A and B are shown apart, each in its own frame.
Chain A
Amino acid sequence: MKMENVVAIALALFLSPIVGGVVAGIDRKITARLQGRYGPPILQPFYDVMKLIGKESMIVNLWQILCAYVYLVAAILTVVLLALQSDLLLIFFVLAVGGVFLVIGALAAQSPYSQIGAQRELIQMLTYEPLLILVFVSIYLVTGSYKISEILKFQEPLLIPLALMYIVLGYALTIKLRKSPFDISTSHHAHQEIVKGVLTEYSGPYLAIIEIAHWYETVFVLGICALFWHTNVYIMVLLVVLTYLAEIIIDNVCARLTWRWMLGYVWSAGLLLSFANYTWIYVR
């Protein structure tokens, strides 16, 4: 264990939830302003999570507890692996395991809302996972490695040869952040036609765990975005901020759409963009 690795792990563990929570708070504030409202304080997500931890724990069965914890551990692990500059494919599989456990937890309860939410979550995973793999493979084709430590040695920013793949990553990002038009399994907006989808049967402390895991995941997906301009820190930050702002605007101008539309549109657009970008990599 090198000293810098210990520092990287500590930063990933303790800084990520703070950054993720503040990002969520700013998100809610900007969303409110876009809707002509004043909006909650920036620290609102932290109040929400602390309140949930203080609530009585009501569970349907023990599977839910296990699944909430595994989801949290998987989310933390993705951020830690990212901070340790590990392998993109390994990170991808850890992310998938976390997602699957969230679904299992929802399926463990008999509520029709959480059952439907779980099915929709699976379809969302089916939609974004191939695209994410295509993005990682394209990074490999350009840099010759899946290891982030090797990718960071690459001379030019990845956004230049992989501009279209960044848009494809944007689709995966929108689904992962649970933003409209893809917030079909559950949403951060209060009311929905399937109550709260995947999260319907999670309550109190376990909902808090899932919310904290979601903060980690937010940091993780923004970290993947940051990879696309690793040569200059200022432009990297600018890119991530602009990407997140674009997400908020998309969230506010789109309606929630059906899973059929999501699957058809995202796969066709994503595959077309990937095909064009892969061709571009080869002819360059």
Chain B
Amino acid sequence: MKFIPALKAIALAGAFSLALGGAASAATLHMHNGGEPGSIDPHKVSGDWENRVVGDYLEGLMTEDENAEAILGQAASYTVSEDGLVYTFKLRDDAVWSDGEPVVAHDFVAAFQRLMDPATAAEYAYLQYPIKNAAAINGGDITDLNELGVKEIDEKTVEITLENPTPFFLQALTHYTAYPIPTHLFDEVGDSWTKMENIVANGPFKLVEWLPGSHLKSVRNETYYDAANVSLDEVYYYIQDDLQAALQRYRSGEFDIMTDFPSDQYGLLESQYPGEARVDPFLGVYYYVMNQDNPKLQDVNVRKALSIAINRKVIGPDILGTGELPAYGWVPPGAANYEGETYNPAWADQDYGERVAEAKALMEAAGYTADTPLTLQLRYNTNDNHQRIAVAVAAMWKEIGVNVELFNSEVAVHYDALRAGDFEIGRAGWLMDYNDPINMLDLLKTGVDNNYGRYSNAEYDALLDQSNATLDLVERAGLMHQAEAIAMDEFGVIPIYYYVAKNVVSPKISGFVDNAADIHRNRWISKSE
């Protein structure tokens, strides 16, 4: 007899929850956001899933429009000195924190000083190293934080001095490492300022809830200067690592936006939810790095043979199934400040059969045949897609007299090995931190930590140094194109495909504009019934 009341209670609870969900859904965005954020403190975050949350509640001097282009944020205007070194920003009069306190220049000065303070241990501090003395302070060579090139001229004026002219600096200011901190609160509670009971916002939304393992929640910030044009009332950012399960939740109507989806489900999405899966070029390269300290890989012709024998055209459409673009150059198409032709070697347009024949001849000239093959170990971190590509590439290389031993390991072990130089060929990828080609090209500079293969060319390094000192954007782009051509002609690395952004967007959502940075601030998003 007690079973019936229990059933009734369950049914009532369900109905109540459905009613609540229905009532709140009008202007509530339910967004699948991937993994657990490590933090919501802008000086402690490092991932795009954290950026989506932090970029909704905080705003820098500059911010992003629908296309992820830099536009004025908390700054009302700015000027740049003739030598390109000094930027002066005037803050908006109506820039205020959600507790009503004005956003002041000191909030930015204190934030940049905190970012560079070694005690903060900010993982991404280096993104603002273009600022004068930033690297020296972060590295402990200068201990006086006031030596940093960020000054408060008056309560509403910030002056930033750079080490060198940096054409992408305004774009870099949209990054979360350039967000202000509410000093009036920070001085009182210190690092606890991002606890839910303390937190204040100067962006379009204000964070109100974080249940680890489940979700975060923001509500519209009514003190935001552009609040009248913010359509959403609430945003839920769901934590869900399992993409297959996340897709089921999208299909059941629980999510309005997915920020990634399993590649092998693209066909299903295309057939059952036409137009909802968005696959667009993204600023990043998937590549194989060759250890140039390894004698087997020091012969440029061997590196060339390995590169040209990879049929990149089948990888995106057939192996991954989501149509990633084949990569022959190092800088992804769509990169800003890169006037000129995309690098495209002659062999890229050759018939694949001819390329294999040429690769085979190059290998034979180097002494490797089917009877005396070159044996290489190919390392990748554990992931179905990495494995599929590795198996396919191994099969392609088999044709030119290369025996491949596949070796997979978890991500921490994999990158530990790459950094230690303990590999022959290794899988890697790079997503650009800001939209400027130097972010890619720096990876192949001599001595750079992320240059896992230890590629080194003095002319390449000199061209990049020259480009850093050049104010003219077209001239700068020319120097960088020359550098890119050198590294690619020497096969310093094997680019395989340019990444794509993979989102799934419900037809109820508008204002979601595909862009190469894959940044979609919820300020621009609206939702219909």
Say whether A and B bind each other.
no
A interface residues (Cβ-Cβ under 8 A, vs B): none
